[in-house]
Structures are given as structure tokens and as C-alpha cells.
Amino acid sequence: MARNLLFVTKGNKEYEEGFSYVVELSRALKTGIFILMIYDKSLIKTFEDSMAAAAFAEAGETETAKEISGEWLRKIEVETSRRTDSLIEKYCKNGAPIKIRCKAGVGDIVSNVKKIVENEPGIEMVLLSPSLSDKGVVNAKKLLKNISRPVVTMSKLSKANM
């Protein structure tokens, strides 16, 4: 069974924060990296998709309704793959090769992490990006209660004058 570190980050412009640390830790521990990017789906987008899907379903176009529901998920999977390739290009060119996989998640961070940990028994540690831990986005107590892996929260360096 492959050993992996689970790097959890928001799928926003700060997605790469903390990744350089995860790469160094992965090389030191000789593990792979599993990246989980969490995206927020706006209420307006959810409502629009639901209304459009309902309209097509009422008209007997069930396949179109299903396509509308899954379109946004396909887009974020593509975006996650593109961002992961960017991280690999930027941080993994030098040094020993690292096996890296990625997945997009939507909504609640804890339930997404729990699902990954349950389905990927090789996950040895969960590392939360500063994009999650600095802003109090994730409920650490709930996370620790729901998974049985060590959890590391990363924070940004302070910008204090030295």
C-alpha cells in the first residue's frame, strides 16, 4: 500500500500556500502526495443549476438535467488538474520524483477529508493549507473527531519587521 500525505487546500488563488512544505516533508518521509482542493459553490450558482435542471426534468429531458448538474463538477476537476500540474512544475522539478494525485471537493471540508481518508487507506497524515487554517475555515475539533490520522495545520509567516 502506497503511503501518502493528504494536502487539503481551498481551490482559490491561495491554493499553493504550504505546498512547498508538503513537498519537502514528502521527500523526507518518502511518501506520495494526495491533493484535495475544496471549492465553494455559490448559492446563486447552486440555485441557477437547480432551477435549470428542474425545468429540463419537467420537460422530460432527464439527461440534460443530469448534464447541467454535473457540468460545474467537471469544470472544477479540470481546474484542479491544471492547478496540480502547475504545482508539480513549480515545486517538484528538482529532487526525487514524487507520486502526486489530486481530487476536487465541494462544500464541507471535514466531510470531504473524511471521505478521502476512508477511501484511501494509505493516507498517513492530513496537512491543512494556510488558506484553511489561518482563517478558521475548518473546524479542527470536528475534523479530529471524524478522522483517525494526525492533522497538521500550517500558517502563514507573519510579516512583522525584524
Strand partners, 86: none
- Residues 6+ positions from 143 with CB-CB distance below 8 Å: 109, 110, 113, 126, 151
- C-alpha grid cell, residue 57: 426534468
Q: Which residues pair with 7 in a beta bridge?
A: 35, 127
Identify the pLDDT of residue 127. 95
* pLDDT greater at residue 114 or residue 56: 114
Residue 38 · residue 106 · CB < 8 Å: yes
Distance from C-alpha of 37 to C-alpha of 86, rounded to nearest angstrom: 14
Cα(56)–Cα(93) distance, integer angstroms: 47
**Residue 8 in contact with residue 128, Cβ under 8 Å?**
yes
Q: What confidence score (pLDDT) does residue 144 get? A: 80
Residue 23 — very low, low, confident or very high, per pLDDT cuts 50/70/90? very high
Which amino acid belongs to residue 158? S
- pLDDT digits 0-9 by tens, 95-142: 878 999 999 998 888 999 999 999 999 999 999 998 887 666 677 777
* pLDDT range class, residue 43, cuts 50, 70, 90: very low
pLDDT value for 64:
64
> How many C-beta neighbours within 10 Å does residue 64 have?
15
Share of the chain above pLDDT 90, in %: 46
